[in-house]
Amino acid sequence: RQNIRFYDLDAVFEHAEDPVRDGIRYNGYQITLPDMPGLGADIDPAFLKQCEMMAVTANA
Protein backbone atom coordinates (compact mmCIF):
# COMPACT_ATOMS: atom_id res chain seq x y z
CA ARG A 1 0.00 0.00 0.00
CA GLN A 2 1.32 3.42 -0.91
CA ASN A 3 -0.28 5.18 2.08
CA ILE A 4 1.38 2.90 4.69
CA ARG A 5 5.13 3.45 4.96
CA PHE A 6 5.96 1.98 8.38
CA TYR A 7 4.03 -0.17 10.82
CA ASP A 8 5.13 -1.66 14.16
CA LEU A 9 4.21 -5.31 13.66
CA ASP A 10 5.08 -6.57 17.14
CA ALA A 11 2.69 -4.30 19.09
CA VAL A 12 -0.41 -6.51 18.89
CA PHE A 13 1.29 -9.51 20.45
CA GLU A 14 2.06 -7.79 23.76
CA HIS A 15 -1.47 -6.66 24.66
CA ALA A 16 -3.58 -8.56 27.21
CA GLU A 17 -6.64 -7.82 25.08
CA ASP A 18 -7.09 -6.49 21.56
CA PRO A 19 -9.54 -3.54 21.39
CA VAL A 20 -9.10 -3.10 17.63
CA ARG A 21 -11.87 -4.25 15.32
CA ASP A 22 -11.28 -4.91 11.65
CA GLY A 23 -8.01 -3.69 10.18
CA ILE A 24 -4.97 -5.91 9.80
CA ARG A 25 -5.53 -9.62 10.42
CA TYR A 26 -2.76 -11.74 11.92
CA ASN A 27 -2.60 -15.47 11.33
CA GLY A 28 0.70 -16.54 12.84
CA TYR A 29 3.30 -14.80 10.71
CA GLN A 30 0.91 -14.10 7.83
CA ILE A 31 -0.62 -10.61 7.68
CA THR A 32 -3.68 -9.67 5.64
CA LEU A 33 -4.37 -5.99 4.90
CA PRO A 34 -7.97 -4.76 4.50
CA ASP A 35 -9.30 -2.96 1.44
CA MET A 36 -10.36 0.01 3.58
CA PRO A 37 -8.41 3.32 3.65
CA GLY A 38 -5.34 3.48 5.90
CA LEU A 39 -5.16 0.52 8.27
CA GLY A 40 -8.95 0.08 8.11
CA ALA A 41 -9.13 -0.31 11.89
CA ASP A 42 -11.72 0.83 14.43
CA ILE A 43 -11.70 0.65 18.25
CA ASP A 44 -14.33 -1.42 20.07
CA PRO A 45 -16.67 1.09 21.83
CA ALA A 46 -17.27 -1.35 24.72
CA PHE A 47 -13.53 -1.41 25.39
CA LEU A 48 -13.36 2.41 25.40
CA LYS A 49 -16.25 2.65 27.90
CA GLN A 50 -14.27 0.67 30.47
CA CYS A 51 -11.15 2.86 30.08
CA GLU A 52 -10.30 5.77 32.34
CA MET A 53 -10.87 9.14 30.67
CA MET A 54 -8.99 12.36 31.32
CA ALA A 55 -9.89 15.65 29.64
CA VAL A 56 -7.39 18.49 29.37
CA THR A 57 -8.63 22.00 28.66
CA ALA A 58 -6.81 25.29 28.27
CA ASN A 59 -7.90 28.56 29.83
CA ALA A 60 -8.15 31.21 27.15
- Quote the pTM value: 0.46
DSSP state, 55?
-
At 7 the pLDDT is 67
At 56 the pLDDT is 93
The C-alpha atoms of residue 5 and residue 12 are separated, in whole angstroms, by 18
9 band by pLDDT with thresholds 50, 70 and 90: low
The C-alpha atoms of residue 25 and residue 33 are separated, in whole angstroms, by 7
At 1 the pLDDT is 57
At 8 the pLDDT is 66
Q: How far is CA 50 from CA 16, 17, 21, 24, 44, in A?
A: 14, 13, 16, 24, 11
Tell me the average pLDDT of the chain.
78
Task: Tell me the pLDDT tens digit for each residue of 36-49.
Answer: 777 778 888 998 89
**H helices within 1-60, ranges in order?**
45-49
